Homo-oligomer: A and B are copies of this chain.
Amino acid sequence: MAEKKIGNQTVRFEKSPYIIGSAAVVGKKEGQGPLAKWFDLCLDDDMYGEKTWEKAESKMLKESMTRALTKSGKTKEDIDLVLSGDLLNQLMSSSFMARELHLPFLGLYGACSTMAESLLLGAMLTDGGFAHNIIAGASSHFCTAERQFRMPVEHGNQRPPSAQWTATATGAMVVSEKPSQIGTVGIAGENRVGTQKQIRVDCGTIGKIIDPGVKDANQMGSAMAPAAVDTILNHLEDTGRRFDYYDLIITGDLGHIGKDIAADLLKDAGIPAGAVDGNYDDCGTMMYYREAQDVHGGASGCGCSASIFAGNILSRMAGGELSRVLLISTGAMLSTISPFQGESIPGIAHAVALEACDMSREGGI
C-alpha cells in the first residue's frame, strides 16, 4: 500500500472516495446574486418559517443535508456519520440539525474553514474504512453572525469598505466509498446534468494556524490570506504538483481584498503570474454582485465556500467544465473576546483536491 501521508501536511487516498451527492440552500440575497442558478434552493425569506435566525440557519443546514442525501440515491440508513460545523457559539445550528437527523455526529469548528475540514475528515474516515457513506456540511447566516460577532442587525451599523458580508448559505456533500449509482444527478440535479462525470477526492492538505498579526476584525481577508497561501504552497510542495495542474484553485472567503493579497503572495512565492491570474479564484468574490448588492469586501462565512463548492464547483466538475480543482476553505479563528485582550487574528486554511473522471473509469483513476 502506498504511503497515505505525503510531505508534511498532505494526505492522499487509497480508494479516492466519491462525492455522490451535494446540495446548497441559500438566503434571499444570495439568490439574487450571480450564482443563483447553481443553488438547490434560494429562500424568499431568511427566517425560513422559523421564529429565530438561529433556528432558520439550522433548518437550512438540515435541508441541504437532506437534499444532498436524496440526490445521492442513498437513504438515512446508509449514512454512518455526519460531520458539520458553523460559526455559532457551541455550534448551535449543527447541534440542532444533528438532533433532528439523529445520526452519529462529530462537531467541528474551523471558523470559515469548516467545509474543507468536514470534507477532508469525511474523505479520510471513508477511505480509512471507518464509514461507507458520510455527510459533510457547514452553514452560516448573516443575521446570526452579525448579532454574535458584531452589532444587533436592527442597529443598522455602518460597515467599513473592507468588511465582508456573512453569507446566509449552507452546503452539504455525501462522501462515499463507492461511485454514484445514479450518475451526476446527485451533484447537479436533474435539470443541470451535462456529461457524466464522477467526482473523486484525490488528496488533501491540513492547514496550520498562520497569524499575520492583523487585529482588525473588519480585515478578515488580510488575516486569512497568508494561511491560504501557506496551505496552497505546502500542498504543491507535498504533492510535487504545479499550480496549473489544477483547472481551478479556489479559496473560501478571502473576499476582494484578501484575494488580491493572496494572488500577490502567490506570485511573490514564485508561482507564474499567468497561472495565478488564470486559475485562481475566491468564493468570497463570486457570491454577490459587488456594487449592485452593496457588500463592500465580498462574502464570508462557513456557508460561502460550502454552498459554492456544493453548488457551483461540483456541478461544473460533473458537467465536464472543470477536471481538477483544489478547494481551500479559509478560517479566521478569532473570538469575540480575543481582540479585547490585545490578540491578533489566527488564520487557518485546509485544502481538498477533487478530480472529475469518466464513468467508464470509475473503478480507479
Contacts and interface: CB of A to CB of B under 8 A. Distances in A.
B128 A207 contact: no
Given A90-B335, A129-B5, A338-B96, A108 B105 contact: no
Interface string A93-117: 0011011001111111111000001
Nearest to A88: B335
Interface residues of A, number: 60
Nearest to A12: B130
A81 B109 CA distance: 15
Centre residue among A91, A207, A341 by max chain B CB count within 10 A = A341
B209 A98 contact: yes
Contact of A105 (B80, B103, B209, B336): B209
A341 B129 contact: no
A287 interface: no
Contacts of A355: none
A335 B92 contact: yes
Given A91-B333, A209-B99, A335-B89, A348 B129 contact: no
A136 to B, nearest CB: 13
Nearest to A347: B99
Contacts of A91: 109, 333, 335
Interface string A1-42: 101110011010010000000000000000000000000000
Interface stretch (A48-56, A183-191, A301-309): A48-56
A40 to B, nearest CB: 25
A96 B132 contact: no
Contact of A128 (B104, B129, B333): B129
A199 interface: no
Nearest to A331: B107
Interface string A55-95: 10000000000000000000000001100010011111001
Nearest to A9: B104
Contacts of A81: 206
A207 B105 contact: yes
Interface in A190-225: 206-209, 211
A236 interface: no
A342 B319 CA distance: 45
Interface of A: 1, 3-5, 8-9, 11, 14, 51-52, 54-55, 80-81, 85, 88-92, 95-96, 98-99, 102-111, 117, 121, 124-125, 127-132, 206-209, 211, 333-338, 341, 343, 346, 348, 350
12 contacts: A4-B130, A5-B129, A54-B337, A90-B335, A90-B338, A91-B333, A92-B337, A95-B209, A96-B346, A102-B209, A104-B207, A109-B109
